[in-house]
Every structure is written in C-alpha cells, then in structure tokens.
C-alpha cells in the first residue's frame, strides 16, 4: 500500500527482512523512472524462476526510460486473473509448456473466468494455449503487449498469433532482446505527441507580436510587482503559451500535426 516495492526489493517471505538497496544511485533512478510489471506465464521450478528474475534484472541499463519487475504465474487461468486484477502489469510473456487449469480453486476469483468460452478452450491443444491466451488478454485489456516464446516454427505460430502479439521468439533465452522489446512497446504507448511538441515549442526562442498580456511570460519576468506569480506557477507554463496569432502548434478544427497524431 505504501508503493515501496516501486523503489526497493520487498521479499515475499514474511520471515525475511526487507532488502535495502546499497546502491543509492540505483534507488534514485528507480524513483525517477516509471515502474511497471511484466507477467510471465510458465510452469517454473523455484530455482528456474529465481534464475529468470536474476537474468532480467541484469539487463537493466542506466539509460532505460522505465523499470520493471517480473510476475510469474504457472497457468492459463492464473494469467487471466492476474491481468484482470493487477493494473501494474503492462506486458505479458507467454512461454510454452504451461497448463490450462490453475492449481488454486478459489470461488471468489474463479467467477472472473466466467467470460472465457470453456467449451472452445477445452478442445485446444496445449501448443495453442499461448496464442489463445493472447486473444483472451486482448479482450480484457487490449492495450497490453503480448510476447510469445515457442518451440514450434515461428512461421507456423505467427499465422495463429493475435493482433496484440507484438513478437514471437523461437525457443531461445535471449533476455536482452526480450528486455529491449518490452521497453520499446511501453515507450510506444508512453509517447505523448502533443505534450512533446508543446515542450519543444517552449524551448524555442519565439518572437511574440500580439496584444495578449502574457507574451510568453515577458510581462511577468520583467515586472517588479508580480514575480510571485512566476514563483507560484513556474516559467514553463508561460513559455508554452501559444495562440493562433503566434503560429500555434496545430489546428483544433483541422489538425494536421501533433494534435492529429495524438
């Protein structure tokens, strides 16, 4: 509830003490970068899961714009429940070899699986669980990127992949490539065309010749009386001031630039 997990490692074993990061720089970076979680669907032994977490953590670089932690679930049903309830999950990696049914029979959570077509899923072969999971996730949370790891031919599986399946990996443990693809997908969704254009506009030296009293903050920065207004709002809000007479960024009525892209 404190969101401390976004900046430090919190062990799930209640008998363990919280792990404090020795590297203060890494903790500062964690605070500065947006945090999300990646759902990994595979039936792993504890040692395998620990190795997977370690290898993904090793891929982190200071220049990464985001930071994430893996969440591992062992079955199709567990993946659906996780996606439906955990808003931190922003990407899904579906590996091959996981079962359909969950080992847990909790009525409170099982009712959230009622939207699944059990009759259609019952006839699926195990090697189809990955593509079908991607389709089901697309119905629940269509914004999520799904990555498939398969031991079948990529050409064969690609023909059955859902629209939200961003890439298929063939039987490989290329953690760096997976790491880059996950960050690239999140970056595409994080893009803010209009805000980015407005921020770039505020950095440009622009001459203002209209009668508006603000004029990119000049009437405030040169004032002997109302500089407290500048201290309160900050300079950027005035540097980003734009209007049709000073060129503007785009047209609200007939957008062709960043408004249209946004």
Give domain limits for the chain: 33-190, 193-261
Q: Give the model's pLDDT for residue 104.
A: 83
Helix (H) or strand (E) holding 145: strand 145-150
Q: Give the model's pLDDT for residue 202.
A: 82
Nearest-angstrom CA–CA distance, 155 and 168: 9
Q: Is 64 helix (H, G, I), strand (E, B) or coil?
A: coil
Higher-confidence residue of 94 and 2: namely 94
* Dihedral of the alpha carbons of 29, 30, 35, 40, in degrees to the nearest 10: 110
Higher-confidence residue of 161 and 240: namely 240
Q: Give the model's pLDDT for residue 30.
A: 45
Nearest-angstrom CA–CA distance, 16 and 18: 7
Cβ atoms of residues 137 and 83 within 8 Å = yes
Question: Looking at the predicted structure, is the pLDDT value of residue 23 above 60?
Answer: no
Cβ atoms of residues 19 and 7 within 8 Å = no
Can you give the pTM of this predicted structure? 0.76
Nearest-angstrom CA–CA distance, 101 and 118: 11
Q: Give the model's pLDDT for residue 24.
A: 47
Token pair 């398969």: residue: 150
Instruction: Give pLDDT tens digits for 77-113.
Output: 999 999 999 999 999 999 888 988 888 877 777 777 7
Quickly state the pLDDT bin for 118 (edges 50, 70, 90): low
Cβ atoms of residues 98 and 74 within 8 Å = yes
Instruction: Give pLDDT tens digits for 121-141.
Output: 767 787 788 888 998 899 889
Q: Give the model's pLDDT for residue 222.
A: 81
Question: Looking at the predicted structure, is the pLDDT value of residue 253 above 80?
Answer: yes
In degrees and rounded to multiples of 5, residue 102 shows phi and psi of -80, 150
Query: Helix 76-85 and helix 129-140: axis angle, to 10°?
Result: 20
Instruction: Name the CATH architecture for the domain at 33-190.
Output: 3-Layer(aba) Sandwich (3.40)
The closest of 70, 128, 77 to 103, measured between CA atoms, is 77
Question: Looking at the predicted structure, is the pLDDT value of residue 11 above 60?
Answer: yes
Angle at 51 between CA 48 and CA 52, to 5 degrees: 85
**What's the distance, CA 241 to chain centroid?**
31
| Average pLDDT rounded to a whole number, residues 234-246 | 75
Question: Looking at the predicted structure, is the pLDDT value of residue 50 above 80?
Answer: yes
Quickly state the pLDDT bin for 29 (edges 50, 70, 90): very low
Task: Give the other-Cβ count within 10 Å of 245's Cβ.
Answer: 11
Q: Give the model's pLDDT for residue 244.
A: 60
Q: Give the model's pLDDT for residue 19.
A: 56
Q: Give the model's pLDDT for residue 213.
A: 57
Quickly state the pLDDT bin for 221 (edges 50, 70, 90): confident
Nearest-angstrom CA–CA distance, 143 and 200: 27
| Count, residues in the chain | 262
The closest of 208, 174, 211 to 93, measured between CA atoms, is 174
Rounded mean pLDDT of the chain?
A: 81
| Average pLDDT rounded to a whole number, residues 50-62 | 91
Question: Looking at the predicted structure, is the pLDDT value of residue 68 above 90?
Answer: yes
Question: Looking at the predicted structure, is the pLDDT value of residue 240 above 50?
Answer: yes
Q: Give the model's pLDDT for residue 25.
A: 47
């Amino acid at each position: 509830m404190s969101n401390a997990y976004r900046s430090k490692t919190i062990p799930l074993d209640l008998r363990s003490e919280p792990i404090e990061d020795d590297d203060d720089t890494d903790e500062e970076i964690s605070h500065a970068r947006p945090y999300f979680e990646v759902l990994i669907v595979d039936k792993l032994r504890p040692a395998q899961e620990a190795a997977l977490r370690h290898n993904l953590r090793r891929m982190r670089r200071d220049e990464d714009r985001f930071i994430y932690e893996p969440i591992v679930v062992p079955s199709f049903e567990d993946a659906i429940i996780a996606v439906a309830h955990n808003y931190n999950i922003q990407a899904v990696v579906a590996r091959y070899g996981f079962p359909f049914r969950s080992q847990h029979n909790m009525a409170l959570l099982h009712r959230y699986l009622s939207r699944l077509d059990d009759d259609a899923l019952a006839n699926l072969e195990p090697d189809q669980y990955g593509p079908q999971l991607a389709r089901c996730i697309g119905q629940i949370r269509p914004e999520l990127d799904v990555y498939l790891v398969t031991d079948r031919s990529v050409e064969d599986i690609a023909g059955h992949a859902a629209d939200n399946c961003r890439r298929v990996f063939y039987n490989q443990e290329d953690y760096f490539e997976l790491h880059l693809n996950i960050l690239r997908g999140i970056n595409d969704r994080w893009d803010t065309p209009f805000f980015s254009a407005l921020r770039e506009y505020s950095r440009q030296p622009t001459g203002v010749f209209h009668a508006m009293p603000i004029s990119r903050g000049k009437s405030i920065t040169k004032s002997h009386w109302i500089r407290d207004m500048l201290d309160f709002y900050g300079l950027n809000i005035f540097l980003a001031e734009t209007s049709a007479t000073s060129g503007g960024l785009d047209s609200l009525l007939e957008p062709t630039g960043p408004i249209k892209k946004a």
